Chains A and B, each alone.
Chain A
Amino acid sequence: MTTVLDDRSASVVGARRMSRNVQGSIAGAALLLGISIPNLLGDGKWGWVLVVTALSYVALIYVGSRALEGRRQATDRLMRATVTVAFALVMLPLLSVTWTVIREGVGRFDGKFLRGTMRLSPEELLAQRDGLAAGGAFHAMVGTLIITGLAAAIAVPLGLLTAVYLVEYGRGRLARAITTMVDVMTGIPSIVAGLCAYALFVIVFGPGSRTGLAGGLALSVLMTPVVVRSAEEMFRLVPNELREASYALGVPKWRTILRVVIPTAIAGVLTGTTLAVARVIGETAPLLIAAGLAQETNVNPFDGRMTSLPVFTYYQYVQPGIPTEAGVARAWAAALMLVLIVATLFVLARVLANVLKPKGLR
């Protein structure tokens, strides 16, 4: 009991606080340990250096604070250090992936790549053999935009209407059944969605039918539950008082939903929809089956195969051509393109959400 009181009074008065210099020395010592231990053990890779530095920092700051500041402060510092380290560890893969994609992709991220396709003329094949840049992913970018656009065109209205139904109208068994089905849909393996879409189109249009539409359909199956879930959350966040305020003005329910509920939730709904698009834009497996591989630009989703960036990346990796480096470089460039598209989508959604979000909320 007495020790607790002592600790508390110490931390309240702040009599015993570590100075910045001490904290700095602890960080320095942690870095020293982080560099020396892996090297002594014979593996001085920077990943290990980071991990050992982080762990020794957590340990040292606790021990140091325990000795200098007492138990309460030590616990506080331990928690802070742990949370910070965990955050850093989560950021690490993200930064590493971004950095790798940029480093490897920027080499072939040129005019030829952005404008060209994989229908290579004999001259281009020769140029490629000589180690010159050849071949591009224009057709795959167009394909990605068309297929994802189709998927969004199907999934977004469907998902939003389902969410509106679930939040505003759905009661009892039907609503519960729909919620369960949406949950089940979230778990559908993407390859299964691809197979289903492919099978459907084979039944309707005959064997071997691979089109952009089939790809879009497969992706919409994956996208719909994500849209439903996120929009549902957002609509539920709209306070019931606003609906009642609208009803009390003699506004019908459907108009209340259109003019009050949806505008109030629109920022969140947009963000959720963007996440859903980002979720499917990188899908490879279902498109391999449903949309197939094409070497040149096809803007008609109803006829003929259509390639998307992930499928392009995959084929550039497994069938790189001669020399191998040419294909691998194109694969990296396509990956970079994909990351850029997703990043652009996120920025767009942020901007839109900021423009549309309810103003003056406190």
Chain B
Amino acid sequence: MMLSGQITRGIPVTNDSRLSEPSQVDDHAERGVVVAGLNIFYGDFLAVADVDMHIQSKSITALIGPSGCGKSTFLRSLNRMHEVIDGARVEGSVRLDGVDLYGSEVDPVAVRRRVGMVFQRPNPFPTMSIYDNVVAGIRLNSGKLRRAETNEIVERSLRGANLWEEVKDRLDQPGSGLSGGQQQRLCIARATAVEPDVLLMDEPCSALDPISTLAIEQLMLELKQNFTIVIVTHNMQQAARVSDRTGFFNIAGTGKPGRLIEIDETKRIFSNPAQQATQDYVTGRFG
């Protein structure tokens, strides 16, 4: 209950809240994100059925699968972004470090402060400068910080996103004036500035060139020291390069729900998966 207290509490600006939590979890298996019996609906349409998954903390989990199988839907259910769509709802449980994110006493807004998200298309706030974009999560939540503190957060987040050197001389310029890859790294900096526990990334590189993609992949490898990362990707090499574990989603046919076929060590998924469907998909023998 202390944990749910922390989740409903204010915004975790400092490291302490994050660091203190795991010590309160006795059962090691409860660390990270544990999804159990998750059914995800759009109105009456069951989009994703019956997912059980354990996402280990401080690691990168990649989700792959054909288009329309519900990867984005599943990802969005992990920080309760799914329910901002009309009629969208979820059955089952998602536990973060032992706390059920869908528990009745949990505020979805507080969940999103601990589980950040980076979208497929870079979406910096057009009304804000680069600087303001980075601290948007804090400012918009009316977190009052001293200038020195925000300066420090901006520099740390931008350095963390490998963007500092490129923008340090024009922090007051609009964020939408950056290149696509820079904008995406700005969005990553924005998401990490509020220091979430988990970072969800939905095809973060699909709009980027190979060099920006490489930059972001390296960035992910650095970020996993501090964050639990879940990434959806259509790029199989990318999944193989960056992820520790890979989950394969598939769909039986249109109108049918998507399902998690298997999740395992990335090496195993790409060399010797348990399921034939996975083998077919990763070797490109798929539909």
Q: A358-B127, A360-B173 are in contact. Are A246 and B81 (CB under 8 A)?
A: no
Q: How many positions in chain A have a CB within 8 Å of any CB in the partner chain?
A: 25
Q: Which A residues lie within 8 Å of B110 (CB)?
A: 250
Contact B137 A250 (CB under 8 A): yes
Contact A360 B84 (CB under 8 A): no
Q: A360-B126, A361-B176 are in contact. Are A250 and B141 (CB under 8 A)?
A: yes
B95-126 vs A, Cβ < 8 Å mask (1 yes, 0 no): 00000000000000111111011010101111
Task: Choose from B113, B142, B173, B174 the contact partner of A249 (Cβ within 8 Å).
Answer: B113
What residue in chain B is nearest A243 (Cβ atoms)?
B84
Report how far A244 CA is from B121 CA in the complex, Å: 12
> Taking the nearest CB of chain A, how far is it from the CB of B96, in angstroms?
14
Interface residues of A in 211-256 (CB under 8 A from B): 239, 241-252, 255-256
Contact B137 A358 (CB under 8 A): no
Q: Which B residues lie within 8 Å of A260 (CB)?
A: 125, 127, 140
Report how far A213 CA is from B98 CA in the complex, Å: 61
Task: Choose from B109, B113, B125 the contact partner of A242 (Cβ within 8 Å).
Answer: B125
Q: How many A-B pairs fall under 8 Å by CB? A: 92
Task: Choose from B111, B140, B175, B187 the contact partner of A246 (Cβ within 8 Å).
Answer: B140
Report how far A255 CA is from B109 CA in the complex, Å: 11
Contact A358 B174 (CB under 8 A): yes
Contact B116 A249 (CB under 8 A): yes
B164-195 vs A, Cβ < 8 Å mask (1 yes, 0 no): 00000000011111000000000100110010
Report how far A359 CA is from B177 CA in the complex, Å: 8
Q: Which A residues lie within 8 Å of B84 (CB)?
A: 243-244, 247
> Taking the nearest CB of chain B, how far is it from the CB of A267, in angstroms?
10
Report how far A265 CA is from B11 CA in the complex, Å: 27
* A173 contacts the other chain (CB 8 A): no
Contact B121 A248 (CB under 8 A): no
Contact A252 B109 (CB under 8 A): yes
* A53 contacts the other chain (CB 8 A): no
Q: Which B residues lie within 8 Å of A255 (CB)?
A: 140-142
Report how far A252 CA is from B109 CA in the complex, Å: 6
Contact B125 A245 (CB under 8 A): yes
> Taking the nearest CB of chain B, how far is it from the CB of A360, in angstroms?
3
Contact A251 B140 (CB under 8 A): yes
* A171 contacts the other chain (CB 8 A): yes
Contact B112 A360 (CB under 8 A): no
Q: Which B residues lie within 8 Å of A243 (CB)?
A: 84
Task: Choose from A245, A256, A361 the contact partner of B123 (Cβ within 8 Å).
Answer: A245
Contact B176 A251 (CB under 8 A): no
Task: Choose from A245, A250, A259, A361 the contact partner of B11 (Cβ within 8 Å).
Answer: A250
Q: Which B residues lie within 8 Å of A250 (CB)?
A: 11, 109-114, 137, 141, 194
Contact B117 A248 (CB under 8 A): yes
Contact B140 A245 (CB under 8 A): no
What residue in chain B is nearest A248 (Cβ atoms)?
B117
* A116 contacts the other chain (CB 8 A): no
Report how far A270 CA is from B84 CA in the complex, Å: 28
* B220 contacts the other chain (CB 8 A): no
Q: A250-B113, A252-B109, A358-B127 are in contact. Are A245 and B176 (CB under 8 A)?
A: no
> Taking the nearest CB of chain A, how far is it from the CB of B8, in angstroms?
12
* A20 contacts the other chain (CB 8 A): no
* B209 contacts the other chain (CB 8 A): no
Report how far A7 CA is from B111 CA in the complex, Å: 66
Q: Which A residues lie within 8 Å of B141 (CB)?
A: 249-251, 255
* A263 contacts the other chain (CB 8 A): yes
Contact B81 A251 (CB under 8 A): no
Q: Which B residues lie within 8 Å of A252 (CB)?
A: 109
Task: Choose from A241, A242, A249 the contact partner of B112 (Cβ within 8 Å).
Answer: A249
Q: Which A residues lie within 8 Å of B140 (CB)?
A: 246, 249, 251, 255-256, 259-260
Report how far A255 CA is from B143 CA in the complex, Å: 13
Q: Which B residues lie within 8 Å of A242 (CB)?
A: 123, 125-126
Q: Which A residues lie within 8 Å of B142 (CB)?
A: 255
Report how far A251 CA is from B177 CA in the complex, Å: 24
Interface residues of A in 235-294 (CB under 8 A from B): 239, 241-252, 255-256, 259-260, 263-264
Task: Choose from B109, B121, B136, B174 the contact partner of A359 (Cβ within 8 Å).
Answer: B174
Report how far A249 CA is from B112 CA in the complex, Å: 6
What residue in chain B is nearest A260 (Cβ atoms)?
B125
Report how far A256 CA is from B141 CA in the complex, Å: 9
Report how far A260 CA is from B128 CA in the complex, Å: 9
With most chain B CB atoms within 10 A of its CB, the pick from A243, A259, A263 is: A259
Q: Which A residues lie within 8 Å of B136 (CB)?
A: 246, 249
With most chain B CB atoms within 10 A of its CB, the pick from A245, A264, A362 is: A245
B137-172 vs A, Cβ < 8 Å mask (1 yes, 0 no): 100111000000000000000000000000000000
Contact B112 A247 (CB under 8 A): yes
With most chain B CB atoms within 10 A of its CB, the pick from A239, A248, A264, A359 is: A248
* 25 contacts across the A-B interface (CB closer than 8 A): A239-B123, A242-B126, A243-B84, A244-B81, A244-B119, A244-B123, A246-B136, A247-B112, A248-B119, A249-B112, A249-B194, A250-B110, A250-B112, A250-B113, A250-B137, A259-B140, A260-B140, A263-B127, A264-B125, A358-B126, A359-B177, A360-B173, A360-B176, A361-B176, A362-B176
